[in-house]
Structure 1
Amino acid sequence: MSLDKILAISGKPGLYELKTQTRSGFVVESLLNGKKITIGMRNNVSMLSEIAIYTLSEEIPLGDVLDKIKEKESGNNTSINHKDSKDKLEEYFFEVLPDYDEDRVYASDIKKVIQWYNLLISKGITDFKQEEESEEAEK
């Protein structure tokens, strides 16, 4: 499963897998507890494949950042917890993405990325590349 089917919903904890689209919104399944819920069009929903992290020169897709974390951690959970201090989080993120923009990437963003990475790894989702890129690689 790629990041195209994984959603972050504002105001709701964790990540969700898109199951189907309805006339009034979406049916999603929580990756935390497996419960299915309906999300209306009024909710602020972001696909992980559309999220990017600011660097000093460009925006890097979240999938690439997650791949760098996976490479650093050898495919395991992160060596730090998302509840660690701001300084520890920034130090860790600097190791993963040395040129991230410290003015536009907040500690809360780093916490989310680490939390999301650990959740995805625990659910066996390790393919963070977008489908277009993996289709090109197959050709």
Structure 2
Amino acid sequence: MNTWEPVPDVYQPVISGTSEFGVGWNARAQYFSEESDGAMGVVQPDDGIGFQINTINLVEGSEKAAAAQEFMNYALSKEAQESFAEALFYAPVVSDAELPESVKDRVADSADPAIVDIDWIWLADHRDDWTEQWRRSVIGG
């Protein structure tokens, strides 16, 4: 299984006091806030939030397709989705998931009217230019 890991991690500098603010995704922020013993809090901007979607995929022709499909079925089950939300604050992708209020209030909801549409292709097309400008103007390199 592969996953994308953001580097550098924006949460640890806030937790350690090196930074006062960081921009990140809700689920990770909620998790690190929980683990930080109060050193980090989570807020959402009033003008809207982006909604990120994670996917689970099966590569065509995989030698272990049956095992992968079995894992995917479990990962997408009500039980696993509820556990994932309670442990890591990711929004469940199954409509029948039941979450405690304390968790429900901390996961993103695709029906939230504060969600802004993000044109990911446009963003990807401009990212290198912004990164270079950030390096020149902020980092000084």
User: Would you say same fold, with TM above 0.5?
Assistant: no
Q: Which has the larger radius of gyration?
A: 2
Structure with a larger share of its residues in helix:
2
What interval of TM-score do these two structures reach, taking the shorter chain for normalisation?
A: under 0.3
Normalised by the length of structure 1, the TM-score is: 0.24
